[in-house]
Structure 1
Amino acid sequence: MWKYYALLSALFAALAAVFAKIGVKDINSDLATAIRTSVILFITWGIVLAGNHTAGVKGISGHAWIFLILSGAATGLSWLFYFKALQAGDVSRVAPIDKLSVVITICLSFLFLKEPVSLRVIIGALLITGGSIVMLIK
């Protein structure tokens, strides 16, 4: 089932990039990011409230809070820079560079999470990197 979720994530990420490029055209990219984040905030809290998941907040450990907060800060910074890049560049060129996050994630998960990296993963990461470089060439 996770593969379907991942494909849906990719589809919506692609739509988000195209919609963002159109939306950020005539406004400050930081303001655009704030609007986007507010929409996400309302949607996700709506899902949590509708699913009656608020009771789980009490059980979140301090360790989990720290890393969720760090993840939120990293996400926010990623979106701010992404919107700035979209405002200045073509979405068809910004998105592939942004997807280098996959390669960086593989490296970081190997270093910090001790996740195994197979030859297939290394080849895939090299192909992603190579593809991003090819798409950068004008």
Structure 2
Amino acid sequence: MSWFVWAVLSAVFAAATALLAKVGVTGIDSNLATAIRTTVIVAFTWAIALSLESHHEISQISPRSWVFLVLSGIATGLSWLCYFRALQLGPASSVAPVDKLSVVLVILGAWIFLGERLTPLKIGGASLIAIGAVILAFA
């Protein structure tokens, strides 16, 4: 499958995550909810890696990759903790669009740090995402 199909599937599962989490976080501490979700993710992803025998590649991972994967994991954890707290406090239909401002930040970060091209279409699209997120958040 192409990257686009995987990205669409990611969006579908992210939407399901927001809806399911909004119901699941009701009446419990958002940090505990995040811990439960993370435990499920750890078990699920290791089961996949083990079943596909990907775990044999661990010894081949460079120190640089380890550093960036660990930092990415920390950023993911912080994002999830904030996201679950936001879902607990606000409506899912407002929280999710604000969370998707990450798309705008990724476009800017990819341009600044990764040297990716920032085209007029990307600037326009990022602007529309930002405007749409603000409108949806406060509508």
The answer to whether the superposition gives a TM-score over 0.5 is yes
The equivalent residue for 1:131 is 132
Deviations 1:38-69 (A, max 9, x none): 00000100001000111100000000000000
The equivalent residue for 1:119 is 120
Query: In structure 1, what is the Cα distance between the partners aligned to 2:20 and 2:39?
Result: 16
Query: In structure 2, what is the Cα distance between the partners aligned to 1:10 and 1:30?
Result: 23
- 1:98-117 equivalences under 5 Å are 98-117=99-118
4+ runs deviating over 6 angstroms? none
The equivalent residue for 1:42 is 43
Secondary structure of the equivalent of 1:4? Answer: helix
Q: Which residues of structure 2 form unaligned runs of 5+?
A: none
The equivalent residue for 1:26 is 27
Q: Which amino acid aligns with 2:104?
A: V
Query: In structure 2, what is the Cα distance between the partners aligned to 1:53 and 1:129?
Result: 38
> How high is the TM-score relative to the length of structure 2?
0.98
User: Retained in 1: the 8 A contact 2:94–2:138?
Assistant: no
Deviations 1:63-118 (A, max 9, x none): 00000000000000000000000000000000000000000111111111011111
Query: In structure 1, what is the Cα distance between the partners aligned to 2:70 and 2:43?
Result: 18
Root-mean-square deviation (Å): 0.6
Q: Which amino acid aligns with 2:82?
A: F
Q: CA deviation at 1:35?
A: 0.4
> How high is the TM-score relative to the length of structure 1?
0.98
The equivalent residue for 2:68 is 67
Identical amino acids, percent of aligned pairs = 50
How many residue pairs get aligned? The number is: 138
Query: In structure 2, what is the Cα distance between the partners aligned to 1:53 and 1:4?
Result: 22
Q: CA deviation at 1:135?
A: 1.1
Q: CA deviation at 1:136?
A: 2.3
The equivalent residue for 1:78 is 79
Q: Which amino acid aligns with 1:53?
A: S
Query: In structure 2, what is the Cα distance between the partners aligned to 1:47 and 1:40?
Result: 11
